[in-house]
Amino acid sequence: MRWRSHWVAITGGALIPDLPMVLFYLTERLVLGTSNRVIWSTRYFDPAWQGFIDIFNSLPLIGLGAYIAWRARASAWLAFLASMAVHSLTDLLVHREDAHAHFIPLSSWRFISPVSYWDPRYYGGLVGGFELVLIVGGSAVLLTCYGHRSWRVIAGVLLFLSILPAFYALSVWIR
């Protein structure tokens, strides 16, 4: 399959929307020494940080880039941007007060989903469980059938990290 040769682009596109968040956290925590509580209750909502994070989650910008990539027949870029779109659309469905402005620069409107990917008051437990099933299932598929060799390594690590807490719980429970 041709898409398999684009595994770097697809993996990169899947990760890039969260990259500004990693930079945000590392800057606040390690450079500025902000506490975790202040980071997620105050600093995360700082307009400058929000603007920076929103750029990487903008559906119109991803769409524009995809149109240019399609016209230029740049299939790797198209795969990269499609992967970004999947991430951003998924984020759109499972974020509440922490939602990104997915439609900048056209609109700064944020969709407040009835469902949260982490908050137990808004089905966070259910979404978290579903996410775990997706990770374990997806990793198993990548590991056994479709995977590029590097994807298999990533899938193996993900699978290991996903089942680690279960083993830990089991070890505590048995003791």
Residue with tokens 């479709």: 146
> Under the criterion CB under 5 A, does residue 98 sit at the interface with Zn ion?
no
Scanning 10-18, 22-30, 75-83, 154-162 for contacts with Zn ion by CB under 5 A, the matching segment is 10-18
Q: Which of 148, 1, 2 is nearest to 75 (CA)?
A: 2
> Under the criterion CB under 5 A, does residue 131 sit at the interface with Zn ion?
no
Query: Mind spelling out the 3-state secondary structure of 2-31?
Result: HHHHHHHHHHHHHHHHHHHHHHHHHHHHHH
Residue 28 or 91 with smaller CB distance to Zn ion:
91
Residue 89 or 161 with smaller CB distance to Zn ion:
89
> Under the criterion CB under 5 A, does residue 17 sit at the interface with Zn ion?
yes
Among residues 11, 18, 132, 162, the one that binds Zn ion under rule CB under 5 A: 18
The continuous run of DSSP H or E covering 172 comes out as helix 149-174
Instruction: Tell me the closest approach of the beta carbon of residue 125 to Zn ion, in angstroms.
Output: 19
DSSP-derived secondary structure for 17-75: GGHHHHHHHHIIIIIS---HHHHHHTGGG-HHHHHHHHHTT-HHHHHHHHHHHHHTT-H
> Under the criterion CB under 5 A, does residue 54 sit at the interface with Zn ion?
no
Positive or negative torsion for Cα 158, 172, 36, 126: positive
Total residues contacting Zn ion (rule CB under 5 A)?
A: 3
> Under the criterion CB under 5 A, does residue 91 sit at the interface with Zn ion?
yes
Mask for 24-43, x = binds Zn ion (CB under 5 A): --------------------
Residues of this chain that bind Zn ion (CB under 5 A): 17-18, 91
